[in-house]
Amino acid sequence: MQSGNTQGCLPLFLFAVFMILFPLFLADVMITALGRLGLSPRVTLLAAMGIFIGGMINIPVRRIEKNQPFDASSCRFFGLHRFFADQTCRQQHTVLAVNVGGCVIPCLIAAYELFRIAGHGPGALGLALTAVGINIFICYHTARPVANVGIAMPALVPAIAAAACALLLYRELAPPIAFCAGVLGPLIGADLLHLKEIEKLNTGVASIGGAGTFDGIVLSGLLATLLA
């Protein structure tokens, strides 16, 4: 009897260990990737903390009224609605928002990296923008609207495309170029250029970058940086 109880508690124990260690692993990967962008250790740490904490903050930018009420998810904390069941409520509008950790901070870092790349000359900036443009094109054509989710696309496509473009176009500046293409490709190609389709989805909150640290914009940029 005691052995059976022990075996029954083992999956719960392993799950608890995973929940504790996974954020630490993710933080280590994030700091390693950001460190390859030429950021100082202090700025790297602040950026990583901003992405984690900012993932809880959605900034509403627009309210879209619907013709018919629908069931909307009420759990939007770090995108956990994708993994756990949560309560729903009836509403007749969609709030379009921008997530601080999943969108705003990565875009600020990308803008800073483009400024640094421009310091290597107009040719370097032109190649970086070419990589961004190619990834925007790829993300636009691979992204699809999904009800109650938003815009979905193959998880590794934008990161691999961004890293490949960076390595082929300007190997010496591959990490920052890959990050910029990895962030701006999904943001513009998957989200902004599909904005009209997002507005048609029956979802309570359509947050760009709304899964926080787990969002495709952040993961694509970080993974592309590590691959480059």
Q: Please give, one letter per residue, the 3-state secondary structure of 135-153.
A: HHHHHHHHCEEECCCEEEC
pLDDT at residue 8 tops 60: no
* CA dihedral of residues 40, 158, 164, 114 (deg, nearest 10): -40
**Residue 90 pLDDT grade (very low, low, confident, very high; cuts 50, 70, 90):** low
For residue 128, how many other CB atoms are within 10 A of its CB?
Answer: 28
For residue 220, what pLDDT is reported? 83
User: Rounded to whole angstroms, how far apart are CA atoms 87 and 124?
Assistant: 49
pLDDT at residue 74 tops 90: no
| Residue of 175 and 86 predicted with greater confidence | 175
pLDDT at residue 145 tops 90: no
Average pLDDT (2-17) is 60
pTM above 0.75, yes or no: yes
For the stretch 167-191, pLDDT in tens is 999 999 999 999 999 999 999 998 8
Q: So where are the chain's domains?
A: 2-227
For residue 219, what pLDDT is reported? 79
Mean pLDDT across the chain: 78
User: Rounded to whole angstroms, how far apart are CA atoms 1 and 19?
Assistant: 28
18-22 contacts at long range (C-beta below 8 A, 24 or more positions apart): none
User: Rounded to whole angstroms, how far apart are CA atoms 80 and 66?
Assistant: 25
Average pLDDT (50-56) is 85
